[in-house]
Amino acid sequence: MNHDESRALYDRALSVLPGGVNSSVRATRPYPFFIERGDGAHVVDADGNRYLDYVMGYGPLLYGHDMPDPVRAAVQSHAADGPMYGAPTEIEVDLAEFVARHVPSVEMIRFVNSGTEATVSAVRLARGYTGRDKIVVMQGGYHGAQESTLVEGEPGHTEPSTPGIPSSFAEHTIPVPFNDAAAIERVFEAHGDEIAAVMTEPILANTGIVLPVDGYLERLRELTAAHDSLLIFDEVITGFRVGGLQCAQGKFGVTPDVTTFGKIVGGGFPVGAIGGRSEIIEHFTPAGDVFQSGTFSGHPVTMAAGYESLKYAAENDVYEHVNRLGERLRRGIAEIAADQAPDYTVVGTDSMFKTTFTREGAVADDADVCDAGCRQRESCARYEHCPKTGADVADAETERWERIFWQEMKAQGIFLTANQFESQFVSYAHTDEDVEETLEAYKAAL
Ligand SMILES: *Cc1c(COP(=O)(O)O)cnc(C)c1O
């Protein structure tokens, strides 16, 4: 593959964009390939190379790169009518009604412009609603680029995870290990009446993928309810992907007080949202007194793309298709790994998949193991070795993924996320033939 154009573009970009990119994960080594256009499940780069794409914009693209006809038509007509107004439009109500109809926790919703903005607003809402300051998050969880959650450490010993955040933010944030009920029980014993909210992804999807062990989400629900704290599910990545239109909360049968959305709900355009019971969401201004506002919030083109995308999913076999191919991929990769890399853990659910390069976990050929992605099943022979926390994932061979495996897959024309931590996604544009091709590539690269 020739990458001369991409290299030249990156050379230019390095002079005017920090690190040559506008979001840090895009700065792949030695330099990123620059995308010229999408084509179904594929992207074509500036040098004309074609890749089968499992990055899918890091999550928003349920349909791949070709919008279904009604989505394209709605986007074009809303853009042509005039991009935005600073006054309400019908399409915001349409999308709000749709989300409220399908997602168990949502009666009301406020649309914003990114997942980050959604989690920032959700934290402010929880603090305003409860009159408390502390929030509990998961080590290895991700809630975007926000001050209150870019915090690491153990309860009682926390610090910001990046320069630029005053340590006073970290005083109010308590990170605990995902899937460890005893750890969060201790935090609630010590600080129960100071905790505004527990905010977690229902599955660790940005460091993982790690599914909840049996009873963990239920325990979070009980603890928060018992202490009048809010349970916030950050479904920016799982929303309208895991569990279909009811989202991960419907799949797991645990209803949070507040849910944050992003990615798919905007149909490929910038979006975020905060939903929940009316009694809570109405604390946002102007209904209540927790300030929340945005020039671009509820942008008509985004709302139209989101609404038509979700409506299309409701009326077609979208989730059946992506989940079936996701299962085929996880099963196929698990078979290859059993043969070639028996320590590795295949993870994921629905249309998400990943292979975590864990360092132990080989079992006998006839052992009882999860066969299409780790489900945190206690009777699985690999249960002791599969990652349960963010730290377990970070202990894997992350350099091997980025420097060896990812490069080899790219050379075979398969575009995966360049780091070990982030998920791959199957889209409605992927086919059974694409899955076969992908498995052949895994066979060669693993
Ligand atoms: C992507 C993501 C965010 C941040 O969303 P942006 O739109 O990138 O700001 C927050 N939370 C989760 C769980 C995410 O996956």
The protein residue whose alpha carbon is closest to atom 10 in ligand 1 is 143
Which atom of ligand 1 sits closest to the CA of residue 262?
7
pLDDT for res 365: 85
Quick check: helix, strand or coil at residue 261?
Answer: strand
Q: How many CA atoms lie within 13 A of 257 on its CB side?
A: 25
CA of 1 to the centre of ligand 1 (A): 32
Residues with CB under 6 A from ligand 1: 114-116, 119, 142-144, 201, 205-206, 234, 236-237, 262, 272
Which atom of ligand 1 sits closest to the CA of residue 114?
7
Helices in 356-405 by DSSP H: which ranges? 390-394, 398-399
Look up residue 332 and give its amino acid: G
CA of 336 to the centre of ligand 1 (A): 31
CATH 3.40.50.720 assigned to 4-66+318-445: no
Residues 384, 365 contacting (CB under 8 angstroms):
no
The protein residue whose alpha carbon is closest to atom 6 in ligand 1 is 115
Which atom of ligand 1 sits closest to the CA of residue 58?
1
CA of 365 to the centre of ligand 1 (A): 39
The protein residue whose alpha carbon is closest to atom 15 in ligand 1 is 237
Which atom of ligand 1 sits closest to the CA of residue 206?
15
Quick check: helix, strand or coil at residue 413?
Answer: coil
CA of 397 to the centre of ligand 1 (A): 24
Quick check: helix, strand or coil at residue 371?
Answer: coil
Consecutive H or E run containing 311: helix 300-315
CA of 159 to the centre of ligand 1 (A): 21
pLDDT digits (tens, 9 = 90+) for 320-371: 999 999 999 999 999 999 999 999 999 999 999 999 999 998 999 889 999 9
Q: Where are the domains of the chain?
A: 4-66+318-445, 69-315
Which atom of ligand 1 sits closest to the CA of residue 119?
10
Instruction: Identify the active-site residue in 234, 257, 350, 434.
Output: 234
Examine the residue annotation and report whether 234 is marked as an active-site residue of this protein: yes
Distance between CA atoms of residues 216 and 220, nearest Å: 6
CATH code assigned to 69-315: 3.40.640.10
CA of 398 to the centre of ligand 1 (A): 21
- The model carries a pTM of 0.98
Which atom of ligand 1 sits closest to the CA of residue 271?
7
> For a pocket test of ligand 1, which of 22, 58, 123, 142 has the largest count of ligand atoms closer than 8 A to its C-beta?
142
CA of 122 to the centre of ligand 1 (A): 13
The protein residue whose alpha carbon is closest to atom 5 in ligand 1 is 115
Instruction: Identify the active-site residue in 263, 311, 354, 388.
Output: 263
pLDDT digits (tens, 9 = 90+) for 202-253: 999 999 899 999 999 999 999 999 999 999 999 999 999 999 999 999 999 9
List the chain residues with pLDDT less than 50: none
pLDDT for res 4: 97
DSSP string, 16-63: HSGGGSSSGGG--SS-PPPEEEEETTEEEETTS-EEEES-GGGTT-TT
Which residues face 155 on adjacent strands? Answer: none
Q: How many CA atoms lie within 13 A of 168 on its CB side?
A: 2
Look up residue 7 and give its amino acid: R
Look up residue 169 and give its amino acid: F
> For a pocket test of ligand 1, which of 24, 123, 146, 237 has the largest count of ligand atoms closer than 8 A to its C-beta?
237
Instruction: Identify the active-site residue in 54, 142, 216, 428.
Output: 142
Q: Which of 141, 148, 145, 200 is nearest to 173 (CA)?
A: 148
Examine the residue annotation and report whether 142 is marked as an active-site residue of this protein: yes
pLDDT for res 208: 87
